[in-house]
Amino acid sequence: MGKLDGRVALVTGAGRGIGAATAIKLAADGAAVIVNDRDRDEAAATARRIITTVGKAVCVVADLTTSGAAENLIEESLRAFGGLDIIVNNAGYVWNGAVQNHSDEQWAAMLDMHAGAPFRVLRAWYPWLKQTTTRELEAGGPMRCRKVVNISSVSGTTGAATQIAYSAGKSAVVGITKTLAKEWGRFNVTVNAVAFGHIDTRLTQTYDSVPPTIRVGDRAFKVGLSTEQAESVRAATPLGRSGVPDDAAGAIMLFCFPESDFVTGQILTCSGGP
């Protein structure tokens, strides 16, 4: 028996990295998982891995920055397993540059991805949430404790050079989290966030001379840390290493388990140190 038996979880950006690791952990503990990503092949691969090894999953492909995508994602999620108890707002990417080099497009893109997308997903969930919790109360209660875990970053809690737009978006996640914790307590929903430090993913991969790129839609974005930067980060981390996706997923899971049913509005830093 898993701690999340009978629960349904949605993880955005679950095609790879932290999102994939989280989706797999949720499924391993009994949750039926909706795997969302804008990359169809990656989403399908995560869903297949869950189905063939640990549990139940479906993939729903959606770019959450496009009009109507959040609403469609919630509809598909509810249709897949008949309910939705856990939402992990993980999808995101980086578009870095010093403030003087930031364009209006860059600023808007980072805020829309990291603050706008979670906002729209949670707003789209609200009608079903309100209807369902009202029905639970009318049936004599109690309301099921449901969970939201938003993904922030130490860039959003302490700032980071060359990441003014990304940092602003991740800072907004803190405000979203604390506000919805107050609004949705009446529905017995806990709303928390995890702020990550350096986690080894494709966004933080190490390079020697030429920065690698990732593609988001029809654009390529430079990502990663130079070998020197990566070594500096590790040296400054009390645990002496970078995190891996399973470390990050473990922190997210703390807010998904029943043990955290009386914890809400909190920001957990997962960075290998203070």
* Cβ-contact 22, 29 below 8 angstroms: no
Closest by CA to 166, choosing from 250, 95, 236, is: 95
Q: Among this protein's residues, is 207 annotated catalytic?
A: no
**Marked catalytic residue, from 93, 126, 166, 207:** 166
CA dihedral sign of residues 149, 150, 155, 156: negative
Integer angstrom CA distances of residue 40 from 15, 43, 75: 8, 5, 18
Helix and strand totals (H; E) in the chain: 9, 11
CB neighbours of residue 218 within 10 Å: 5
Beta bridge partners, 89, equal 150
Closest by CA to 270, choosing from 247, 254, 253, 240, is: 247
Residues with a catalytic annotation lie at 166
